[in-house]
Every structure is written in C-alpha cells, then in structure tokens.
A and B are shown apart, each in its own frame.
Chain A
C-alpha cells in the first residue's frame, strides 16, 4: 500500500535526512545516495565531497532542445535535466530554470527569447517606468500567471522521478526591483526617492514573493526555498545599500514563509574580491542566509562563494570564514575551465579546490553553469576528480594520487539505452 503522495514524500525525506545526518556524524551508513551525501556534507563529514550540478542549458543542448521548449514545458525540461544528472552521475541536482524571470514575467515584464540560451528580461523596456506604474501594477496570481504553471508542473514531475521534493527557487525582491525598473533607474530611486524604492520592495516582497513561495511550498512540500540575488552583488551596489534595501526584505519574507521544517534563504551573490576586506561581503552574505531564521545551527545553511571571488581572495579565506560561522561552504567550478579544459587543467584545479576547501567536511562542490560547448569528457573529468580525490579524510598526498581518466559512453548511445523519453 502506498502512502498519500505528500506524506509519503515527506517520510522519505525524513528517512534520507536521518541517514544523511547520521553519515555526517560519522556513523556507518551503507551505500549512501547523493542526497544523503549532500545532507551529511551540510551538517558534518560525509564519505566524500558531494558534487552538485545545475543541468540548465547544457542539458537542453545535449538533448537538442530549443529554449522555447526547455524553459516552458515541464516534461522535456525535467526529463533532460534528469538524464543529464544520471548520465554524469551527479550526487544531487535541482530543477534550475531562469529563476530570476518567473515573477517578473508573471507581473507583465517583457522577456527576450532566443533559440539556444535562457530568456532574459528586456532591460530596454522596464515594466515600472514611473511611480504611477507601481500604483497600477496588480500582483500575479500565484501558480497561474506567466510561466508559474510550468514551474509547478516541473516540480511535480521532479517529485515523480526523484521521490523527494526539489529545492524551490524565488527571485529576491532587490534583484526583481532592478529587473523591473532597470539598474540605473533603481539606483536613482535609492539615492533620490528612497521612499518609492521601499514601497516597491515592500510590494514585491509581500504581494509577489511571499504568495509565490507559499504556492510552491503547498505544491511540493519543499523544505528548502532559495532566493537568488545577483543584483545585490558588489560592486553593483554598496554594502550600505544591501543593508538598507535588501536585508530587511529578506527578513520579512523569511519570517512570513519559513517554519521549523522549512528553511528559506537568500544565497546572496558575489563580490568578495571587489572590496578591500572580503569579510565585508562575506558578512553580508552570512546575514542573507541567516536573517529571520531561528535555530540556525539546525538549518541546512550553506555559504556560496563563486570562482571569480575565491580565485582572488583564496579558497582558504572562504574556508576559514565558513568554519568560523559553522556553515557549509559551497564552491563552484569555473565554467570556462569546464569548457576549455584541457582535462589535465581541470584535474589540477579540482585537486586545489578539494585540498584547500574540503577541510573536515561541511563542503560541497557545484557545477553551477556548464557552457554548452563543453566537451563531455571535461564534465566527466570534474565529476571523476571529486570521486577520486574527495574521499574523507582528504589525503595529504592529493597532488600525487594518479588520476584515472573517466570511461564513458557517447551520450546518444546512453540515451538510446537508458535515457528517459522527453515527451
């Protein structure tokens, strides 16, 4: 007898969580799966460093899909992402679409669609051109407006295939305000008309983001909600601007939507390398993930630091900060490296990331973006490097451990034999 879907899914998640936490605390767990390994890495020390990926446009390209299909139809979108993750044997993946655009599009913002890349907000036509436009604006109907139905259908399909809810995504109000007003206009608002800027942020937070998060959570029972905030990065904005115009709204949203079993975070942005003291930005990012969240030590919090920054400030600086705050550190692999290779350079970079970043746990590696022209061999090399060098305790001899190049079947052959049909 099968349990009702939401309850069955939640019980399954609880089982994985307990196993993952047990693994992270050093208990023996037989054949841990990728999700359990991720949980172990967030809370402690897993058997090895988990490797995550955002399938995104690389999965789209592998399957020969056009953006108009991949970013608007649930079955091909999830099917291609699922195949990608299985083919490369990724530990954990989430259905990542153009998550900055969903709420903006649902409000009526025009997007630019292209054949082979994700849609973009048409910044030449901002939806809110004046204060009056905000007065006229009606909030979207959560789950109905724009491509919100596509997002919910995609999540449902993910649950069908994976048996667990995905991480769900929302656009942070600060970044959404920039997308809807245009960067220069919004900076002018902040400087000259801060009351309007606050009114806009309040509208986006409480009438757009909160109802959308509630709808996504109702549909999926997701336990992690991630808001992304590219425009709250330095040097685009100053840390003072983030403190006044970004953090208070994150807190409001988190307080309105999280619970003891659900964590809502803003994973922040980047910019550690563009300020004199990287801690200035790391502190802001730490606030972004913790604001409004009570029982912080029990939450699956992670501090994301991107290659543009860690290559300049040093992985060790990011690692020390994460250890000091007792949060999991997540580092990406430089997208251009995956595209350009060669495999020897990838292996060398992965050795460095693991040697300097892995510590005694609380560490995750993510391929956040794989450029579409990246050779399959390079992607496999990233995954294999983590598998071969990332077992805990990390070897002191990591530089001398020989790397065994990955053996793999061409994707078309694999797809014929094992791939999930996309329709």
Chain B
C-alpha cells in the first residue's frame, strides 16, 4: 500500500500513532508537507465523515479520526511554507469561560482544517476579552465560540458586547455552537451563524464567507 492510502486508513481508523509514523516516513522521503495533508490526512478524515453519514461510524470513531488528523497536522504545520495551502480564511475558536469541555470544539477544528481553514485554537475556559483580543491580533474573519453548559453560554453575550464595543462585530462573522446553545439563542444573541454539529459548522462558515457552491 502506498503512503497516501496508508495515511488515509490510519486517519479514518483513528490510529494517531500510525498516522504520525507515516507522516514522519513520508517527510523523510521528501514528500511535501502540504501533500501529506492534502493527499493523506484530509482524504482520511473525509472517509471517516463518509462512514459517519452512512451510519457505519459513531461519534467516538469520528473523534478518534479527528485526533489522528490533529497529530499529523501538528507535525506538518510548522513545515508548511506560505502558499503551500490556499486557506479560505482564518478562524479563531474557543470554549467560553467557565466551561472546560473541548471535545466538540476539537472536532470542529479538525473539520475546519480539513476544509482548508487556518485555525487559531484558544482552548477552553476562554475569557471574553481574550476572544476579542485574539480575533483582533490574528485578523480573523470568523470567531467561533462553544458552550456546553447552560450555566456558561451566557458568556457569549459578553463577548458580543465587547466585539461591538471594539468595532469588530461588523468586520468578522461570529459562529456559535455547543450542546447548550440553540438556534433560537444564537439568533437572539445576534450571532451570524449557528453550528448544530461540527459538519454543519463548517458549512455555515463556508456560506458566510461565500465559499458555498
């Protein structure tokens, strides 16, 4: 089996150790870092998505596939030269203050990276001001916020208020999601988009930035 097929299988099968090993071996052979993502890791995560849609894969399988993709991405990203990947845009993303859940956010990040978005991961328990500061510093075109508890989702209101105050609200798109957040709340909040799940979040961002076909 060639390295592309092996990588695809390792990523879709959620084997992060094997995926990283194949990435190392391919780099050693002189494969371009961008190709490692484009020809191996991305097809792997798309395969996982396909198996999910047909009902063969369950959420844990998708999460393990996303983790394997992340392992390859972390290895390859520092080696990418400007122009290796034509990014669609930059997304700053995090879980709101008081909330330590990161599974959903990590899944969205993996999907965004597969869809050629540059992602700045702020992690969990992110203070409102830190969202605004990072969006400004990184010149993001999308700010993503996740809340997984009803007790924490209200923090999003503070972030929106600070974005407004900083004059950023009109310059970037705000997309929210997470188990606690509903479409109605997202609309009430004044968010530009609501990601019902990780796949939908990418579709929403594509649509907001004009990448939908």
| Residue positions of A touching B, CB distance < 8 A | 57, 112, 114, 116-118, 120-124, 183-184, 187-188, 190-191, 235-238, 241, 308, 335-336, 339, 369, 371-373
Indicate if B32 sits at the interface (CB-CB under 8 A): no
Contact of A57 among B151, B154, B180, B182 (CB under 8 A): B151
Minimum C-beta distance from B157 to chain A (A)? 10
B59 x A236 contact (CB < 8 A): yes
Q: Give CA–CA (A183, B125) in the complex, Å.
A: 17
Indicate if B103 sits at the interface (CB-CB under 8 A): yes
Indicate if B14 sits at the interface (CB-CB under 8 A): yes
A187 x B63 contact (CB < 8 A): yes
Q: What are 13 A-B contacts with C-beta separation under 8 Å?
A: A57-B151, A112-B125, A120-B100, A184-B103, A187-B60, A188-B14, A191-B64, A236-B103, A238-B58, A238-B60, A335-B150, A339-B150, A372-B151
Indicate if B3 sits at the interface (CB-CB under 8 A): no
B59 x A112 contact (CB < 8 A): no
B64 x A188 contact (CB < 8 A): yes
Q: Give CA–CA (A241, B151) in the complex, Å.
A: 29
Q: Give CA–CA (A235, B55) in the complex, Å.
A: 12
Given contacts A121-B100, A123-B102, A187-B64, contact A371 B150 (CB under 8 A): yes
Closest to A190 in B: B60
Interface centre among A121, A188, A335, A372 (most CB of B within 10 A): A188
Closest to B102 in A: A123
Minimum C-beta distance from A207 to chain B (A)? 27
Q: Give CA–CA (A369, B100) in the complex, Å.
A: 18
Contact of B14 among A191, A235, A336 (CB under 8 A): A191
Q: Which residues of A contact B128 (CB under 8 A)?
A: none
| Residue positions of B touching A, CB distance < 8 A | 14, 58-60, 63-64, 67, 98, 100-103, 124-125, 150-152, 154, 179-180, 182, 185
Contact of B64 among A112, A184, A238, A339 (CB under 8 A): A184
Known: A184-B67, A184-B103. 19 other contacts (CB 8 A): A57-B151, A112-B125, A114-B98, A117-B152, A121-B100, A123-B101, A123-B102, A124-B100, A124-B124, A183-B63, A184-B63, A187-B60, A188-B64, A191-B60, A236-B59, A336-B180, A369-B151, A372-B151, A373-B154
Interface centre among A57, A308, A336 (most CB of B within 10 A): A336
B64 x A336 contact (CB < 8 A): no
Q: Give CA–CA (A183, B148) in the complex, Å.
A: 15
4 closest Cβ contacts across the A-B interface? Answer: A235-B59, A335-B150, A238-B58, A187-B60
Q: Which residues of A contact B100 (CB under 8 A)?
A: 112, 120-124
A183 x B154 contact (CB < 8 A): no
A236 x B98 contact (CB < 8 A): no
Closest to A188 in B: B64
Given contacts A112-B125, A123-B100, A336-B185, contact A369 B150 (CB under 8 A): yes
Q: Give CA–CA (A122, B98) in the complex, Å.
A: 11
Q: Which residues of B contact A308 (CB under 8 A)?
A: 179
Minimum C-beta distance from B110 to chain A (A)? 12
Q: Which residues of B contact A191 (CB under 8 A)?
A: 14, 60, 64
Closest to A241 in B: B60
Q: Which residues of B contact A372 (CB under 8 A)?
A: 151
Q: Give CA–CA (A130, B58) in the complex, Å.
A: 25
Closest to B55 in A: A276
Closest to B97 in A: A114
Q: Which residues of B contact A188 (CB under 8 A)?
A: 14, 64
Closest to B151 in A: A117
A336 x B60 contact (CB < 8 A): no
Minimum C-beta distance from A95 to chain B (A)? 19
Q: Give CA–CA (A123, B180) in the complex, Å.
A: 19
Minimum C-beta distance from B184 to chain A (A)? 9
Closest to B123 in A: A124
